[in-house]
């Protein structure tokens, strides 16, 4: 049987890296880069855009936690969908019991789930719906697919993404991210991890005719070297390609967790998601101890998160 291994420390680092990066970006979400150049984020702030206290995480972490909690009981798309609906309607896995932010495609996807449809078919060919709303919650799948072949991994990623984002570009972004995270787990150098990801994903796309056209949109990641671009050439909108490019660029440019996440957040626009995705990479690679303790200490529902991470790890390794 195909098998990849990871440690509890790697799981912990990636999840905490994600949540802290998310919370770092929440107060300045939608702020343009030019404003953050003058007033850069250097530490954990409070209030700002959403008027939430310091350490508040967004829908990104909420839906990630819903995904984790569902997977603790096994892989069940119906249950995952129910948890997404429970989050949207009743505040499940929110910091303070209510939803304060949700993307349009994610909202529409959850309304679709309420009708009993597990694929958001309205997004299949809709280029207005290629946001980062599935990329922002796909991290738990990195660990769920550890014993699966590449074809099985892609299929699981496709199913989970399609609950709200069924367009192949969103699916492929999730796939690239999952494969890169595994390369980080298995390799000691960033360069080797990146090169292996390019080889693996390009080969897979070449063998899947339906992915070839979509792979072209990730040319700067898959064919070139995203780390070589200048900051001015990196966009950080909610478009899924921009988010993945911005997160990777920040990760390769920074030298530690703090540098990576502040670089990501200070790119502006969709700051919480860029911070979260980049933070998950940095938390995995540099470890939990690399995340500033004072940043972790202010995170909302800290003990609940600790318990969920342990529960998730034991559920996957029983």
Question: C-alpha angle 156/142/217, rounded to 5°?
Answer: 75
Q: How confident is the model at residue 11 (pLDDT cuts 50, 70, 90)?
A: very high
Is the pLDDT at 1 greater than 70? The verdict is no
Give pLDDT, residue 266. 98
Using an 8 Å Cβ cutoff, are 175 and 157 in contact? yes
* Model confidence band, residue 61 (pLDDT cutoffs 50, 70, 90): very high
Phi (first) and psi of residue 239, to 5 degrees: -65, 130
Alpha-carbon distance of 2 to 110, in angstroms, equals: 33
**Helix (H) / strand (E) containing 307:** helix 302-316
Q: What is the pLDDT of residues 284-316, one digit of tens each?
A: 999 999 999 999 999 999 999 999 999 999 999
Residue 239: predicted pLDDT: 97
Mean pLDDT of the chain: 96
Map out the domains of the chain with their CATH numbers: 8-316 (1.10.4080.10)
In the predicted structure, residue 3 carries a pLDDT above the cut 80:
no
Buried b (16+ CB within 10 A) or exposed e, 122-158: ebeeeeebbbbbbbbbbbbbbbbbbebebeebbebbb
pLDDT of residue 17: 98
**DSSP 8-state symbol, 72:** T
Structure tokens at 41: 């984020």
**pLDDT for 132-164, tens place per residue?**
999 999 999 999 999 999 999 999 999 999 999
Residue 4 vs residue 21, higher pLDDT:
21
Instruction: Give the 3-state secondary structure of residue 52.
Output: strand
For residue range 107-124, list pLDDT tens digits in order.
999 999 999 999 999 989
Read off the pTM. 0.97
């Amino acid at each position: 049987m195909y098998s990849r291994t990871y440690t509890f420390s790697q799981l912990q680092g990636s999840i905490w890296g994600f949540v802290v990066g998310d919370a770092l970006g929440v107060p300045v979400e939608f702020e343009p880069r030019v404003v953050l150049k003058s007033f850069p984020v250097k530490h954990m702030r409070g209030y700002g855009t959403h008027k939430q206290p310091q350490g508040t995480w967004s829908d990104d972490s909420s839906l990630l936690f819903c995904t984790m909690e569902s997977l603790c009981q096994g892989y069940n798309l119906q249950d995952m969908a129910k948890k997404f609906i429970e989050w949207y309607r009743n505040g499940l896995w929110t910091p303070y019991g209510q939803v304060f932010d949700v993307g349009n495609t994610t909202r529409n996807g959850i309304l679709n789930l309420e009708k009993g449809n597990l694929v958001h078919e309205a997004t299949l060919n809709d280029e207005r719906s290629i946001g980062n709303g599935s990329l922002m919650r796909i991290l738990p799948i990195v660990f769920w697919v550890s014993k699966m072949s590449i074809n099985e991994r892609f299929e699981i990623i496709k199913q989970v993404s399609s609950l709200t984002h069924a367009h192949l570009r969103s699916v492929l972004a999730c796939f690239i991210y999952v494969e890169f995270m595994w390369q980080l787990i298995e390799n000691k150098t960033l360069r080797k991890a990146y090169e292996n990801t390019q080889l693996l994903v390009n080969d897979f796309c070449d063998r899947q005719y339906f992915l070839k056209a979509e792979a072209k949109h990730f040319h700067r990641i898959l064919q070139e070297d995203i780390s070589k671009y200048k900051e001015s050439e990196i966009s950080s909108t909610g478009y899924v390609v921009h988010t993945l490019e911005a997160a990777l660029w920040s990760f390769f440019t920074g030298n530690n967790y703090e540098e990576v996440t502040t670089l990501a957040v200070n790119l502006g626009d969709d700051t919480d998601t860029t911070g979260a995705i980049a933070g998950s990479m940095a938390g995995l690679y540099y470890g939990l101890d690399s995340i500033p303790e004072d940043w972790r200490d202010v995170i909302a529902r800290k003990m609940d998160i600790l318990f969920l991470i342990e529960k998730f790890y034991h559920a996957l390794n029983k």
